Amino acid sequence: MSMTITEKILARAADKAVVMPGENIWVKADILLTHDICGPGTIGVFQREFGRDAKVWDRERVVIIPDHFIFTKDEMSHRNVEGLRTFAREQALPYFYDPGTPTYKGVCHVALPQEGHVRPGEVIFGTDSHTCTHGALGAFATGIGNTDAGFVMGTGKLLIKVPPTLRFTVSGLKPDYIMGKDIILRIIGDIGFEGATYCAMEFRGDAIAALAIEERMTICNMAIEAGGKNGIIAPDEKTLAYVRARTPKPFTPLYSDPDCAVAKDYTYDVATFEPCVAKPHSPAEYAPARELKDVKLDRAYIGSCTGGKLTDFIAAAVILQGKRVSVDTFLVPATQEVATGLATEKINGEALTNIFKNAGCLDIAPPSCAACLGGPPDTFGRTHGREVVISTTNRNFLGRMGSKDAPIYLASPLTVAASAVTGRITDPREFL
Amino acid sequence: MAGKKKSVISNQQSAISNPKSAIIRSRVYVVGDNIDTDQIIPAQHLNLVPTIPAEYRKLGALALSGLPADYPPFIKRGAAQAEYGIIVAGRNFGCGSSREHAPIALGAAGIRAIVAESYARIFFRNAIATGEQYPCETAANLRTVFQTGDEAEIRLDREEFVHVKSGKVFKLKSLGAVMPVVSAGGLFAYARKTGMITA
């Protein structure tokens, strides 16, 4: 019986030879990821249901990465991180990345793979909808709520429905001005905000294979913006090299059978893609950037699990080198590793940090989710008024970055950087 | 309508022992398509921890505070709960985040059921796992009939949704295995009740 990569991973995790879309199965979790805004509630459910002194099912598999409300004066946010600290100590968790210490990482969806917790063929549950990011490394990864996460914490298992697969084949030679963000925004625009509800979104084709791992993460990260249960890309040599450089743990990759059935096939020629944006207030509001040059901006933002990786900052720096931004430009590296890369990575001999400084960007913030989701009032980059924002993040919902009156346009780092220079939405081909 | 009883929920107790008799009668609050989790509970309030009772109640007081300004207030200024027990919604209700704060905020505000054309996957599941409300679905476009404040009745046993004033009856999709889980009070309560979990 032929199966997709998603079905094969779930079948193995359920100790079954075959699973079918729509089937409800119990699967074993390889990793449970949580953070500072859903971790406290998850622990609350776990201790209420399994007992105050209960132990997590496997302390090697519970990974806690605080990242959302870190650099704030908000006392409740500090209380929540302190609760995680206590729990990690009580449970002797080896993978708690503690803010304010050298183990602090930053945004969980970039830190999880960087620290070697994402391995092809495994099952990852996380208390965050963008957990689907990790499918970029050939894992099954999906977001869950606190109650389900509390259950996983106690038992290591979860009842899930096997999703049907929507398969997106993107072929052709990818132009330099097209990034992972342009590919996924176009696809979401085509299938709609709920076009993949309950489904797996599998991406393949030579244009996908040509992408760096970080760029593949951008694509899988936004599967949820079409309602997808998971995004996934079959592992290749790049994937295996990335993972092996980060963990000595063994893993067994899985791949779709060549003749497997999928619910729907979509094919694209990447040459037809253009630098694009998603207009307020939905990631599915696709428009080519060149059609919106009359939109005047107040702010540019580069950061988050979607658009705050080193590859994203390199793309922005390619545009910004030797130029000046004309709007406030906020830079938030996703993780400490990315922040370090900004200082060491160079273009034409100039470090990214200097390129951004000379371009007039605001001082680079420490790694965290920051204004991607608004957050406490003192969050770096948060909107408070009617700022018009162009951002490399993943959601442009009403009020997403803080103020309901601040419209958000989503775009690739190339498009965000080009727009930061002109102060209007700008197709980066004007600068390349 | 200050001082009026918040929402009339009859047979809620018997619903737990016998879901077939469950009737939820209340005034409705009507919203559109694609109501995302940031509109249900804006991210800045995610410093509230739902398993702490005082913070659970506070989440309720903040429910739907992210809606556009042209919506009527869901919760009156200073009130702890809404005057509504049922939300009528369009497509893709609860899209976006996995934050369980969303169904919890609605439940804490007094919402016992939602009747929508469709749901985002994680919200639907979280509503069931927490037992906060019945996530009912219908193929009908209810927003041509229902206005915020209208009286409505959900007859879970007959899978019907009634607009009381006009007497119009809409068919609900079967909740199937979801029904006893919500009736029991969520995933853990159901698992205990049915012997899946001991203690």
In chain B, the residue whose alpha carbon lies closest to the alpha carbon of A44 is: B51
Burial A214-230 (b: 16+ CB within 10 A, else e): bbbbbbbbbbbbbbbbb
| Both tokens assigned to B5 | 């009883």
Nearest CB to B69: which of A37, A193, A404? A404
Q: What is the pLDDT of residue B199?
A: 61
The pLDDT tens digits for B80-130 are 999 999 999 999 999 999 999 999 999 999 999 999 999 999 999 999 999
Q: Does A303 touch chain B (CB under 8 A)?
A: no
% of chain A surpassing 90 pLDDT: 100
Q: Find residues 15-44 of chain B whose CB sits inside 8 Å of chain A.
A: 34, 36, 38-39, 42-44
In chain A, the residue whose alpha carbon lies closest to the alpha carbon of B121 is: A198
Q: Smallest Cα–Cα separation from A270: which of A196, A346, A205?
A: A205
Q: Which helix (H) or strand (E) holds B126?
A: helix B121-130
Does the pLDDT at position A121 exceed 50?
yes
- Type of residue numbered A372: C
Confidence of residue B22 (pLDDT cuts 50, 70, 90): confident
Question: What distance separates the 2 farthest-apart alpha carbons in chain B?
Answer: 49
For A50-79, what is the mean pLDDT?
A: 98
For A17-30, what is the mean pLDDT?
A: 96
Q: Does A231 touch chain B (CB under 8 A)?
A: no
Q: What is the pLDDT of residue B17?
A: 40
For B157-175, what is the mean pLDDT?
A: 96
The pLDDT tens digits for B146-163 are 999 999 999 999 999 999
Does the pLDDT at position A319 exceed 70?
yes
Long-range contacts (CB closer than 8 Å, 24 or more residues apart) made by A233-241: A233/A135, A233/A136, A233/A137, A233/A138, A233/A202, A233/A203, A233/A204, A233/A208, A234/A5, A234/A138, A234/A202, A234/A204, A235/A120, A235/A121, A235/A137, A235/A138, A236/A209, A238/A212, A238/A213, A239/A120, A239/A137, A239/A138, A239/A213, A240/A120
% of chain B surpassing 70 pLDDT: 89
For B180-195, what is the mean pLDDT?
A: 93
For residue A359, which phi and psi values (nearest 5 degrees)? -80, -10
State the average pLDDT for chain B. 90
Full set of structural domains in chain A with CATH: 5-268 (3.30.499.10), 276-430 (3.30.499.10)
Chain A residues whose beta carbon lies within 8 Å of the beta carbon of residue B129: 145, 147-148
- ipTM metric: 0.96
Does the pLDDT at position B1 exceed 50?
no
Interface contacts A/B by beta carbons within 8 Å? 127
Residues 6+ away with beta carbon under 8 Å from B18: none
Q: Find residues 57-116 of chain B whose CB sits inside 8 Å of chain A.
A: 66, 68-69, 91-92, 95-101
% of chain A surpassing 70 pLDDT: 100
For B177-195, what is the mean pLDDT?
A: 93
- Type of residue numbered A267: T
Does the pLDDT at position B20 exceed 80?
no
Q: What is the pLDDT of residue B196?
A: 82
Task: Select the residue from A397, A400, A403, A404 to test the B interface by mutation, using most B Cβ atoms within 10 A.
Answer: A397
Q: Does B118 touch chain A (CB under 8 A)?
A: yes
Full set of structural domains in chain B with CATH: 21-193 (3.20.19.10)
Chain B residues whose beta carbon lies within 8 Å of the beta carbon of residue A127: 98
State the average pLDDT for chain A. 98
- Type of residue numbered A269: D
